[in-house]
Structure formats: structure tokens, C-alpha cells
Chain A
Amino acid sequence: MKVIALYSIKGGVGKTAAAVNLAYIASQEKYRTILIDLDPQGSASYYFRVRAKRKLTTKNLVKGFKNVEKNIRGTDYELLDSLPSNMTFRKMDIVLHNMKRSKKRLKTILKPLKHQYDLIFIDSPPNITLVSENIILSADILLIPVIPTPLSMLTYEKLLNFIGNKKWNASKITPFFSMVEKRKKLHREIVQKEGSRDNRFLKTIIPYAADVEKMGIYRAPLACYRPQSLAARAYSDLWQELKKKAFNT
């Protein structure tokens, strides 16, 4: 089992879209997949049309696996399940703070899912808190969408420093360019320059596309309603690249 966490300190960079589309594509390739939505905004859950039960509060989640198990919901797609988000997840930080081993809670929660799934995708809340640390520590691949703008690059650098200072395993850091607008010179330049300077960047670029925004209307992965679109094909390429890194194939 591999854990792939979509993570960024900044919001609105295409995390959720990537998580939903990649999880869908993986499940179509017969990987038993689950998407865990830890973002209290619950966009991933919205795309899959799943709602959490009221009982799935932060306290119940971090308390243990039984509660996780009970709240897993099948999506409309074969081999793809989801753990929907809940508004109380916004208080997860405070709950974690008062616990022992507060940074490794998530890892413990995920352990029993090992036998049920080949892949776990996590959609994380945009910030850098104790929850983020849990996510970073439990992920095998930390997949970071980066919009090619100076500000985004700065945030990315900050994250690198943060992980560096903690002396955590940096090989899991896997950035990719997201929401790229080819007609903007700045975007083109940054992709060109940073992409060749930092070889951690995946080769695939996810373009900015109205089709992606429409996921909120169709409430389905892109491949279900615009399979031939540029963006859909980009996600598919991204998955192929990611798969190689995750499973060493």
C-alpha cells in the first residue's frame, strides 16, 4: 500500500482536483483506492457526492480505526472508496495537540487500511499545522501542486526548508506544476527555469482549464464527462509518472 498526500500550504492550487482525478484514474487501472478527505471544506467529498455521518467528528477519527472503517463510503466507481470530510475536522489541530504521539496519529489510523487498499490518497487542508505534520509523516509521496508564480514558488521553498529543518525524509517531496496558463509569459518562464533547476518536479504539467472547474457542476472526475480534454489527458500522464515513482516500475 502506498500513501499519496496532496499537500500545499497555499489554497486554490488544484489540490482537490488532482486528488479526485488521480484517485479515479488509479482505480480504473484496478488499484484498490481510497481518497481520504481531511480538508474541512470537503470539496473532494462534494465531487464524489458523499457526506460524512454526523458521528465522524475529529475526536472519533483520531481515536481510532473502528470509526474510520465505519465511515468509509463507496463512490459511484468500482474499486474507489472515500472517507468524507466533516466540518469538525477544522478543530483537528486542537484535538491532536492534547494527545500523546501527536505527530504520528494519522499513521496509526491508516495502518489497518493496508490490507484493504493498494493506494490511499489524502486531500489535505491548506496550512502548515500539526495536521500537516501528520500528513507529511504518513505519506510515501508528498505531491505538491505549484502554480508557476513567484509567490507560489516562495511558499514551496518554505515547505522545503521546513522539512529540511525537521530532518525528515525529503525524497517523498514530489512537486508538479498546476493551473499553468501557457499564454502567460511568466508561467512559461518559471516552468522552464524551475523545472530544470529542481529535478524533483514531475515532467507533466496540469494546464489551467475551465473543464476542471466544471467538476463542481458535474460532481464527477474529469474523465467521466470530458475524457478527451487536454486536462483529462494531463492527469492521466501525471498518474503514469507518479505510478512509476510510487511502485518503482
Chain B
Amino acid sequence: MKSEIFYIFPQTISKKKFLDRFREAYRINRAPVHRTIRHYYDTFDWRLFKKQRIMVEEENCVYLQNMSNGEIEIQVDCPSVHIPHFWWEIDDESLRKYLKPMTGIRALTLMAKCQCRIQELRLLNEDEKSVLMVSLETITPMQDKKRMGSFYGIRLQSVRGYFKERRDFDRFMKNMGIGKTINDLLTKTMEASGKTPGDYSSKFRVTLRSDMSANDALRVILRYLLRIMRQNEMGIKTDIDTEFLHDFRVSVRRTRSALTQIKSIFPADVTESWKHNFAELGKSTNRLRDLDVYLLEEQAYSNMLPEALRSGLDPLFKTLQSERKQEHRRVLQYLNSKAYLDLITSWGHFLDIPTSNEEPKGARALIPIIQVARGTIYKKFKKVIRMGKEINETSPDKNLHQLRIECKKLRYLLEFFTSLFPQDEMAFLIGQLKKLQDNLGRFNDLSIQQEKLNHFLEMIDVNESHSLKIAAALGGLISRLNQEQCLERNNFKARFSAFSNPHNMTLFKKLFRTVSKTGESM
């Protein structure tokens, strides 16, 4: 496949200066100037950018370029300018296959747009053969309909077998003081369009200092979570994909978890009232998320059933789909309501109150965060170990559900405070915990799904014509899910003993156990 490299002119070099020097040095063939509009696509969380890929639509053609080596890895014709949101909606099979592992369930959205004036200048040798494809581009990024400041650059495409000419040209550009890049082209275009590549991630990433007061640190954590919520609002409202709501809800959950677990930083009544508010906020989006999860599972459910029973699911999913439409409208109204806006703004104001302020504080507000972090994590860890050890073959499912919740709390704590401890050890422990969580999470999902399907089963109107078929499909699914749940349950013991192995225990102790002055562990 072909590869392309880009050179951006520094401010000191004008187009004319470049062209003069270029004409002096080379024999060239100028093609007529043409103009195009270039569209850049990525998912909201920059999945392509994070994998070093750029997706561009230009002149009825879509291509993906690898930023690390400039290679155009795939290029397909697309007669319509409209790029579908999801990989499964794309017509071209090779592009679909390429994007599937890259974008997953996230939608592709337009990230930036620019106008380009392209002057092709082919470098010729003594046989008048093109040995290097050079195009001089004037790039004008657009923000909505407004044109931003232009910049100039050279796009270079090598011709196979003409390495020496390519090397010579590199040297020529270096002598002119023009550096090569691919990343900068994207970054520059994005920035002019008001975007920063990679600025969003659903992962929690906050840097704390160990000598910060607990009050300050908690506010940093909560402010970060608030920002994530706000960043996702628009995507939820316009209903681009399901992950906006998911990330929003995770942030709400993390906020509640931080308020509950990192105790005595704010006055008790203040904490209680915010906890209540965020619990309500979470609740108001529960139903929409549930519906999203079912609809995402549609294909998987269908695959679980024998062919003959599959059509029984259709009426069910149709109902769910129309219910989702209604529910989305309700959430949209809520997000646009004064109540929501008031909650979010006053929360923001509250978080911005500086520590020096005379406001009443909780008992541990001024302790260094490192102490609070150690104590809180270690306490939660001990609880997880205690609960896990108590679970045996005869324990009720309820116990596993409770353990799952405690693990989640521990996970949040580890993530909140990651920056205070050695990175590799934290990453290792989080990885160990994640394996246990995966097992518990699947177990829980399977039991909830069965519960919900049972609920559907009870709601079936026996007088309707196709209800028998629906019932058969649901029955098939429930028994299938139940089998899988048993398998997960059988796996639990091994997963838990892997998590609680002596090495992990020692590491948890080493990192988080606080020792009192008398030498007793706390």
C-alpha cells in the first residue's frame, strides 16, 4: 500500500519562497490546481487516534492512515459523503472488517473539516518520468461555516523504486528548515476546529500529590468526574451512540462512591444531601440504560437460540425499541430541565470553594490525602477478602452480588488514588482485581438478564397470536443463560483464590497498610 508523509511550513517560509527554491532544484510537472473538502472522523473517545490512525473522507473516497509510518492502510470509494455512524452500517466489507476492532460500539463522528487547495507538482527525472509525487496544499480549517487561519504544507507520496530521489528530497526539505510530520497536520487542523485529539477518555485519569489536603484532593477528583458528565451531555441528547449515557452514568456512580467512601471530608449533612441528589440523577437514567443493554444484546440473544425460535424475539425487541424512544425523550427533557441544570451548576460552585475558606469542614478535611487513601483502600481490601473467603458452594447468590459491589468500590478507590502510588504496582493490582470483577460481573449480568426475561414472560398476553412463539424464545434464552450462570459460579472459587494469593496480599499490605506510632497495624 502507498504511504504519505506531510511537511508543514514554519511561519518563516512563504509559499513563494518554497516554490522558487523548489523550481531551482528540480524539474517539475505542474498539474492544474484543484480544491477539495477534507473531513476527519473519529469516535468521541478518539479510538482511532489512540491507535495512531486517522480516518479521512475526501473526494468521494475514505482512507485510513497509520500515523506512525504514514501508510494508507485501507482506501475505499464512497459515492456519498455521508459516513455511517457504526462499522456494521458500512457497505464496503473490507472497511467494515478494518473498523470493527477499532471502533467497537462507538459511533464515528465528524471531528474536523478543512478546505484544501491542492497543487500537484510531480518531480521528473531525465526521462520525464515521475519519481516523486509532491503536492503543495493550502489548508483552511473550518469551524462550523467559519474559515480559520490557513497554513501550507507538502504532501509527499513516494514512487516505488525511487528511494534515492526520495532521500534527496528529504534532504532538500531539511535544508529549507521544513520538518516532516503526520501527527502535527491532524493536531493543527483539529485545534483550529476547536478540538484536541485524545482529550477524552472513559478511563479515570487524575494526578494527585500525596501532600495535598484530603479536602483539595477530593475536590480534584469530583471536578474531573463533573467534567466527564458535562462532556457527555450533548452526545446523550443527540443520541449518537449508547456510550455517552454509559460514561455519564459511570461518572455519577463514581461521584457517589467517592462521597460515600472518602469519609469525613465535607460536613456530614452536606455529603448526605449531595449523595441523595446524585442517587436521584442516576435513577432517572436507569431505565434508558437497561433498554440500551437489551438492544445491544439483540444479536447475541438471537445467536443463542435455534433458528426456529429466533423470530419469537422480534415483537419483543420492537416493543423495547419503541419504549426506548419514549424513554430517551424523557431523559432529554430531564437534561434540559432547570432542575438538572441547577444541580450541576451548584455542584460546580460547591467544588470550587477553596480550602482556605471558612466554611465548615469534616473532621479529616485537612489530613494529607495519602493517609486517607491508604486507610480507605486497605479497609475495603480487607472487607473484600473477608467476604470472599466466606463464600462456598452453598452460599446464596446474594453474597456474590454483595461481593461484586464491594469489589467495584475497591476498584474505584484504586483508580481515584492511582497517582499516589507506584504506577506499575497499581496497574498490576487493578488488573488482578479486574479479573475477579469480570467473573462476578458476568455472574450478575446473567442473573439480571434472567430476571428481566422472566418479567417479560409474565407480561405476555396469552390471547395474542404470536405469544406462544415469544414464550418459547424466552424460555430457550432463560435456560441458556441459567446454564452459563452456573458455569460462572463454578469459576468463582478459582478466580477468588487467584486474587487473594499471597503475593497480592503482601503487595496490598506493603502499599496501603498504615502503621500507628506504637507499631501496631491499623
Contacts and interface: CB of A to CB of B under 8 A. Distances in A.
Q: Do A and B bind each other?
A: yes
B127 A74 contact: no
B160 A74 contact: yes
Contacts of B129: 48-50, 76
For the complex of A and B, the 8 pairs showing the least CB-CB separation, nearest first, are A73-B161, A49-B129, A74-B160, A74-B159, A49-B127, A76-B130, A72-B161, A81-B160
A219 interface: yes
Given A49-B129, A73-B159, A73-B162, 9 more contacts: A49-B128, A50-B129, A71-B161, A72-B161, A74-B159, A74-B162, A76-B122, A76-B129, A219-B127
Interface in B129-185: 129-130, 158-162
A91 to B, nearest CB: 23
A59 interface: no
A74 B161 contact: yes
B147 to A, nearest CB: 31
Scoring B127, B159, B161 by chain A CB atoms within 10 A of each residue's CB, the highest score goes to B161
A42 to B, nearest CB: 12
A99 B1 CA distance: 34
A219 B122 CA distance: 17
B368 to A, nearest CB: 60
B394 to A, nearest CB: 58
A94 to B, nearest CB: 27
Interface residues of A, number: 11
Interface in A42-97: 48-51, 71-74, 76, 81
B3 to A, nearest CB: 12
A73 B127 contact: no
Contacts of B162: 73-74
Scoring A51, A71, A74 by chain B CB atoms within 10 A of each residue's CB, the highest score goes to A74
A72 B160 CA distance: 7
B128 A219 contact: yes
Secondary structure at the B interface, as helix, strand, loop or mixed, is loop
Scoring A48, A51, A76, A219 by chain B CB atoms within 10 A of each residue's CB, the highest score goes to A76
B128 A73 contact: no
A66 to B, nearest CB: 14
Interface string B306-321: 0000000000000000
7 contacts: A49-B128, A72-B160, A72-B161, A73-B160, A73-B162, A76-B122, A76-B129
A127 to B, nearest CB: 28
A120 B316 CA distance: 54
Contacts of B128: 49, 219
A50 B126 CA distance: 11
B130 to A, nearest CB: 5
Nearest to B163: A70
A54 to B, nearest CB: 13
Contacts of B159: 73-74
B267 to A, nearest CB: 69
A219 B129 CA distance: 10
A74 B165 CA distance: 13
Contacts of A219: 127-128
Nearest to B160: A74
Contacts of A72: 160-161
A50 B159 CA distance: 12
A81 B162 CA distance: 12
A73 B161 CA distance: 4
B321 to A, nearest CB: 39
A87 B129 CA distance: 20
Interface string B99-131: 000000000000000000000001000011110
Interface string B440-481: 000000000000000000000000000000000000000000
B61 to A, nearest CB: 12
Contacts of A76: 122, 129-130
A76 B131 CA distance: 8
B161 A51 contact: no
A220 to B, nearest CB: 10
A71 B127 CA distance: 17
Contacts of B127: 49-51, 219
Contacts of A51: 127
Nearest to B127: A49
A181 to B, nearest CB: 32
A43 to B, nearest CB: 14
